Amino acid sequence: MRAVWLKGFGGPEVLVAGDAPDLVAGPGQALIEVAFASITFVETQFRATGAGPYPGQVKLPMIPGNGVGGVVTAVGADVDKALVGRRVVSATGGSGGYAERAVVDAGGLVEVPDSLGLDSAVALMADGRTAVMLIRAAGLRGGERVLVEAAAGGVGTLLVQLARAAGARVVAAAGGRRKIELARELGAEVTVDYREPGWTERVREAVGGVDVVFDGVGGTIGRSSFDLLDRGGRMVVFGLASGAWTDISDETAADRAVTLIRPRPTPEELREFVETALAEAAAGRLRPVIGQRFPLERAADAHTAIQSRATIGKTLLEAR
């Protein structure tokens, strides 16, 4: 089968398409004919340095990729045969996603609702799961002012919609006009370009301060967002797209009566978050924004686009 290999850490060019051995579903496993594989921002960081959320996955060479969707074509001897032919999404555990086929734990498969395209389902697999988790963790109340960083990104576009649906007043912060226009289309009340100096002043003029920050960028943007929180606010910390976590100690937060929230979900909760995201999309209440599609062989180009901040919404690899 065709796959994309990572043979050493470095720039996007270390992702090289090639052949990989055919896969067989072992006990407890399912074989998926992959239609789409998702790329998340953190995979670009992992590719560059090996750092990231997949401990034990750094033996090279490897096939990267954590989110896939397609049709089940075979299952292990002990697995329910009725799964064969079903449209599913699944996490791979961090390796094996950028390929024409993937073997996954059959217990982790999530069926895709009939009315939802596989591309939309794959777009929601990781980002939807994460966004639902973050919204729940924040415990939003109607009328709260919510700042979403990287609001035109994979997770950000979903956070904007889910926060709005929860009755929040959404302040979307992103880099560049095209991105803030997208956030406005998705329901943001206030949009600011945080590449421009004085962006926090524009937030203050529009809404005073904020009650909740969704911080997936970190660094100086995360710090500025923290400073916008009113006393008693919450900061949900989940990423460092800028390269650094937001540097705020628990003591500094406590001085401002701000709660720092770092969700630690169980596998069962994660599954439920995926199912919720897919169900919301199937019902037409959540719109995954698929901004870019690349053929599997061009995974390196997809990584280049993502890490240079040129993408909006989700980036998918098409495996067939």
| Token duo for residue 258 | 């701000």
Nearest to 217 by CA among 170, 126, 129, 155: 155
By CB under 6 A, residue 276 contacts ligand NAP? no
Q: Which one of 14, 73, 242, 265 is in contact with ligand NAP (CB under 6 A)?
A: 242
- We find the least distance from the C-beta atom of residue 242 to ligand NAP, in angstroms, to be 4
Contact 4, 299 (CB under 8 A): yes
Return the number of the residue (147 or 150) whose C-beta is nearest ligand NAP. 150
By CB under 6 A, residue 40 contacts ligand NAP? yes
Q: Spell out the alpha helix ranges (H) of the chain.
A: 41-49, 118-138, 154-165, 177-185, 199-207, 219-227, 250-255, 267-282, 299-307
Q: How far apart are the first and last CA of the chain?
A: 11
Q: Determine phi and psi for 76, rounding to 5 degrees.
A: -65, 160
DSSP per residue, 161-182: HHHHHTT-EEEEEESSHHHHHH
By CB under 6 A, residue 179 contacts ligand NAP? yes
Angle in degrees, CA 147, 122, 83, rounded to 5: 140
By CB under 6 A, residue 150 contacts ligand NAP? yes
Compute CA 27 distance to the chain's CA centroid, rounded to the nearest angstrom. Answer: 30
By CB under 6 A, residue 316 contacts ligand NAP? no
Q: Which one of 3, 106, 152, 188 is in contact with ligand NAP (CB under 6 A)?
A: 152
By CB under 6 A, residue 289 contacts ligand NAP? no
Contact 93, 54 (CB under 8 A): yes
Size of the site for ligand NAP (CB under 6 A): 25
Return the number of the residue (254 or 310) whose C-beta is nearest ligand NAP. 310
Return the number of the residue (74 or 152) whose C-beta is nearest ligand NAP. 152
| Token duo for residue 93 | 């555990």
- We find the least distance from the C-beta atom of residue 98 to ligand NAP, in angstroms, to be 15
- We find the least distance from the C-beta atom of residue 41 to ligand NAP, in angstroms, to be 3
Return the number of the residue (29 or 307) whose C-beta is nearest ligand NAP. 307
18-26, 27-35, 72-80, 237-245 -> range binding ligand NAP (CB under 6 A): 237-245
Per-residue x/- track, 199-228, ligand NAP (CB under 6 A):
-----------------xx-----------
Residues 157-194: b if buried by 16+ CB within 10 A, e if exposed = bbbbbbbbebebbbbbbbbbeebbebbbebbbebbbeb
Interacting residue ranges for ligand NAP, rule: CB under 6 A: 40-42, 126-127, 130, 150, 152-156, 174-175, 179, 216-217, 238-243, 309, 311
